[in-house]
Amino acid sequence: MGRTGHALRGGVLGASLLALGPACENLQFGGDQPSSYRPLSHAGSPAPRTTTEDSPLERASRTVAFELKVAEQRLARDLPQPRSLTPRVCPDDALRQAGEPSTLHLLVRDTRYDRRQLLPLGITRRMAPDELEPIRKRFEQPDDELALHLYRRLRRYEDATASQQELADLAARPFVAVAHVLGYIEPRLTRKPGARRRHWRPGVLDTMLVVYDLRDGQSLCQVRTTVRNDTSDAPILIRLRSDTRDRLKLQLADRWREMAVRQLGQITSYLQLSTLPNDSLDG
């Protein structure tokens, strides 16, 4: 580029600086910047957050959330399936002498070989209500799924004391009763060959109730528990079929729990299943 080009470029640059006018007077190259100066790259950056101490509710919430997770993992332990269907009596004398708590957790495990017919969640919840669910409900329930897992806060500070006491009581129980589901037949409306009317085929729930020591995972005793629906008065009207089927499923779960209490009493006079109010049963 010749002298003409350099002169032209210098003239354009000079004209541009003149057009900026007073704004150029505030430009400084090198040295200290004025207090109001802010680099363009930081124009959209938020102001730095100040570190504040967590509230007592937040600290208590973290403690309860941690203890709840420990309880969930403890009850989710993989326990061995029963190798036989022969009843075994619990060692009551040894448990009494050791002063072990007599109340059992109750869990349901689907151990069927053929699981093509789904075991309804409503039945398992009715058989063994989750004792940790009331504690979970004391936490805020955000709409965002990610927030539900990353940040949990109790609704009230008073809930922390109650939750910690309940979790401590649950953790003190060393034994758990597991209902291993061996077979399930859903109640079904059917018709026998040559019959004029349809009828409800009873549902069947067949389980092996096994008591385990959570400390070593060993089984202590077991008994088989099998129940069937009573369909003698079940209506067969089309408009009532869906409601009738749902009612029979819940009836099957209720019958199983009643039978489980009786069957457990045949193998132990010391251990007993935990009880929850009826309004905690989620059908």
Cα Rg of the chain, angstroms: 34
Highest mean pLDDT among 14-18, 38-42, 50-54, 108-112: 108-112
DSSP percent split of the chain into helix, strand, coil, nearest 5: 40, 20, 40
The pLDDT value recorded for residue 239 is 56
Residue 225 in any domain: the answer is yes
d(CA 108, CA 71): 16
179/225 Cα distance (integer angstroms): 9
Please count the structural domains in the chain.
Answer: 1
| Cα distance between residue 21 and residue 193, in whole Å | 102
pLDDT tens across 200-211, in order? 888 899 999 999
The answer as to whether 21 is a domain residue is no
Residue 261 pLDDT:
95
Considering the domain boundaries, does residue 39 fall inside one?
no
Asked whether residue 48 is domain-assigned, the answer is no
The tokens describing 224, both together, are 């088989």
Strands (E), the chain: 103-110, 175-185, 188-190, 199-201, 204-213, 218-228, 272-273
Q: Is residue 213 part of a domain?
A: yes
Please give the residue range of the domain that contains residue 218: 56-276
Residue 9 lies in a domain: no
For 30-46, the three-class secondary structure string (H helix, E strand, C coil) is CCCCCCCCCCHHHCCCC
Q: Is residue 25 part of a domain?
A: no
Residue 30 lies in a domain: no
Return the pLDDT at 234. Answer: 67
